[in-house]
Chains A and B, each alone.
Chain A
Amino acid sequence: MRNLEVAARPGQPILDLHDVHVALGGRSVLQGIDVRLAPGELVGVIGPNGAGKTTLLKIILGLLRPDEGSVRIAQRDVREARGLVGYVPQSFAPDPDLPLRARDLVALGLDGSRWGFSLGGARRRAKIDEALAWVDAARFADQPVGRLSGGELQRLLVAQALISDPRIVLLDEPLANLDLRSQDEVVALVGRVAHERDVTVLLVTHDMNPILGVMDRILYLAGGKAALGSVDEVVRGDVLTDLYGHHVDVVRVHGRILVVGGADAESLTCTTCDA
């Protein structure tokens, strides 16, 4: 495939995937992915269902070893870099009665993987308060999470991922099931994570439009391959046709981008719009 990667910022890449191949259950999911990201970049990960978005996240988290290729984080092997990657999983919908406060949820990101109780302490509390304040969650810090709105929960999950001071944060569909106002809030927050804290952000979303304003580059996955670059470089008919392996049109309407595939098929299908 064509190498669409544009020059990263100067200095060493924080994330370096080279020629990554993964097959799951006999099906080839990723076929030679190259991704090099600089510190503080906000990258939208877009692609149709089954394109390997979740697989890519698992590889970066060290939960899945690629069959071929290398994954390096801050010039280290991915297994030695676990503490450098924060993660916001998809669809967190706690039970209304879940006995867990906002601050407890955030604290899990700090020491949730350690055995035993936390003995508390002023420094731990200060760190949790700081993380809560940074995502503007201080005023509901002591509320049970089951009674928070979707946008409030996403902000807490970002705080949970950030509290261990990672260099990379992965967010899996953080905008799904949010109303437009909450989407805007979360997008602005994620922009601050990348650009104020110099944390590299990979944000998986099925719709690129909400993040067009904050995204530095786009990583478009389709057909086991990837295209990485600016939106203008990647989201083009010729590039995506090459990626999908069949004809694809890119339509721009009122500042929104629609990717429309299957012009030679019987019906038009919008591959990146909401269903």
Chain B
Amino acid sequence: MFAFIARLLAAPTVGTALAIGSLVAVTSGVVGAFVVLRGQSFAGHALGDIGTTGAAAAYLGGVPVLYGFIGVGLLGGLAIEGLGERARDRDVATGIILSLMLGIGALLLYVMTQGTNATGGPVAILFGSIFTVDPSVTVPVALFSLLALLLLAFLYRPLVYASVSPQAAKAAGVPVGAVGLLFMLAVAIAVEESALVAGALLSTALLIGPAAAAVRWSRHVGQAAALAALLGLLAVWLGIALAYQSYFWPPGHRGWPVSFFIVMLVLIEYLVARIGRRAPGRAAARREAA
């Protein structure tokens, strides 16, 4: 066991993977708790998908894909939140922006596959590439994470108020629209960072999964955010270890993708949380009977 961990940590790519993976897990977990609270999973998923377009453009332009993901994610977040006032409008707006951006993304990915030396690019963007991430993006990832977490800390109370009871929040003077817009920027950062680790298609796994498991075991939002961050860390660390170990596994001894392990571990966390938590509503019934 210790020998395995020592070997793991000695591998040069693993250090970067663990550093970036940990930053992403914490950011996604904390932001995800609010995404689940607000029922905005679809918007989160859409942001991950449209990030593909930015990442492909960045790749073609020779820039680290992180900047493509985040740039397009921030714009997409503003567009989604800005276009639809009501929840239903927002879903439609999200769907339209999603298909538009994926259309452009499909073109860019196609161009990438035509270029020389770029065959791994589309796969890395869509399914993650944490072992091949450029170590120089560690510091930008840390700064973006810090920005997202500071934004959430600043928004904390009005965001909870606006999420739980938008009408009462509005009446109390909370700028509900502006709070939602700023929150969407934090979501964009979290999702696009996750895309770097788990790939654009699976980026919401780290955003929604740990948070959805955490809310079932938490009594308040702060607790849910902390627990989601821990569950995210657990999934990322174990996922990286398993992916590293999988170089010794069949079929090709070339390693299984990290995103596969992370998604499976997140799913297990969620199922355990679901099964382990008693059915809601009984507490009130008991008090009524008493």
Binding stretch for chain A, among B44-52, B58-66, B133-141, B219-227: B219-227
Q: Which of A82, A94, A105, A115 contacts B158 (CB 8 A)?
A: A115
Binds B, one of A147-155, A194-202, A228-236, A266-274: A147-155
Contact B220 A113 (CB under 8 A): no
Asked whether, in the complex, the Cβ of A149 is within 8 Å of the Cβ of B288, the reply is yes
What 1/0 mask marks residues of chain A from 128 to 154 whose CB sits below 8 Å from any chain B CB?
Answer: 000000000001101110111100100
Q: Is the CB of B158 within 8 A of A113?
A: yes
Q: Count A-side interface residues using an 8 Å CB cutoff.
A: 42
Q: Evaluate contact between A89 and B287: CB separation under 8 angstroms.
A: no
How many positions in chain B have a CB within 8 Å of any CB in the partner chain? 38
Contact B37 A99, beta carbon cutoff 8 Å: yes
Q: In chain B, what residue has the closest Cβ to A179?
A: B288
Q: Assess the B154–A115 pair: CB atoms within 8 A.
A: yes
Q: Evaluate contact between A99 and B167: CB separation under 8 angstroms.
A: no
Q: Which B residues are within 8 Å of any A CB, using their own CB? A: 33, 37, 39, 153-158, 160-161, 164-165, 167-174, 214-216, 218-221, 223-224, 280-285, 287-288
**Given A63-B171, A112-B161, A147-B283: A117 and B153 within 8 A (CB)?**
yes
- Residues on A with beta carbons closer than 8 Å to the beta carbon of B171: 61, 63, 85, 87, 89
Q: In this complex, what residue of A is CB-closest to B168?
A: A89
Q: Which residue of B lies closest to A161 (CB)?
A: B168
Looking at chain B's contact residues, is the secondary structure mostly helix, strand, loop, or mixed?
helix
Q: Within the assembled complex, what's the spacing in Å between the Cα atoms of A117 and B154?
A: 7
CB-defined contacts of A85 to chain B, threshold 8 Å: 171
Closest 9 CB pairs of A and B: A96-B280, A112-B161, A89-B167, A99-B224, A87-B171, A99-B218, A149-B284, A147-B283, A113-B172
Q: Does residue A18 face the partner (Cβ distance < 8 Å to B)?
A: no
Q: A96-B280, A115-B157, A147-B281 are in contact. Are A140 and B287 (CB under 8 A)?
A: yes
Inside 8 A of B287's CB, which chain A residues have their CB? 139-140, 149, 152
Q: A99-B37, A99-B220, A99-B224 are in contact. Are A87 and B172 (CB under 8 A)?
A: yes
